[in-house]
Amino acid sequence: MPRPFKCRQVGCKPDISYFKPRGIPVNKLEEVILTMDEFESVRLADLEGMYQDDAAKKMNISRQTFGNIVKSAHKKIAEALVNGKAIKIEGGIYQMEGMRKFKCCECEHTWEVAYGLGRPPECPKCQSNNIHRDREDCGHARSGRLGQGRKRCRRMPI
């Protein structure tokens, strides 16, 4: 029975989104599609070693849903390894975390900048450099809620 999807938070886009076994011609190659939320679940659970409870919170989903996602991800990865299939990482219902909100003190313009792009030098609307982080967003930054994952993704254009 289909239920409405909650938006799944994903903290990191993969550098490489296609894995292919060596020596198999493309026309004979079968693919499994690993969705971005499945990729993220594996990153959190297996690579970062997070507890399912914590990882589920980080992705803004229930623990049960997280369990299902990570199980599905493991099955797909196993299928690719065992049967020599390619893995393509794309799609899924997700939302990138870690956008920073800025506000211009001159013209009140607000806009978002992805982590990794650095602090904008000026307001894109009026070119004033009298800008600051939006208050609500600063609160999140202080609490460290997004934690380590973000740092690993510094270089990534989002």
Q: Considering only 52-60, 83-91, 100-108, 137-145, which stretch makes contact with Zn ion by CB under 5 A?
A: 100-108
Give the shortest CB-110-to-Zn ion separation in angstroms: 10
CB of 111: closest distance to Zn ion in angstroms? 9
* Cβ within 8 Å of residue 73, ≥6 positions away: 34, 38, 39, 41, 42
The piece of 46-54, 84-92, 107-115, 135-143 that touches Zn ion (CB under 5 A) is: 107-115
What CA dihedral angle connects 28, 91, 38 and 55, to 10 degrees?
160
Residue 32 or 107: the one with the smaller Cβ distance to Zn ion is 107
CA distances 72 to 36, 66, 118, 128, Å, are 12, 10, 35, 49
Interacting residue with Zn ion among 42, 45, 123, 153 (CB under 5 A): 123
109 is a site residue for Zn ion (CB under 5 A): yes
Minimum Å distance from CB 100 to Zn ion? Answer: 16
Q: Is 17 left (phi over 0), alpha (psi -120 to 50) or beta?
A: alpha
Q: Among 133, 156, 137, which residue's Cα sits nearest to residue 145?
A: 137
Contact 98, 11 (CB under 8 A): yes
105 binds Zn ion (CB under 5 A): no
Residue 125 binds to Zn ion (criterion: CB under 5 A): yes
Closer CB to Zn ion, 93 or 107, in the complex: 107
Q: Is 104 in the site for Zn ion (CB under 5 A)?
A: yes
Nearer to Zn ion, 68 or 110 (CB): 110
Footprint of Zn ion on this chain (CB under 5 A)?
Answer: 104, 106-107, 109, 123, 125-126, 128
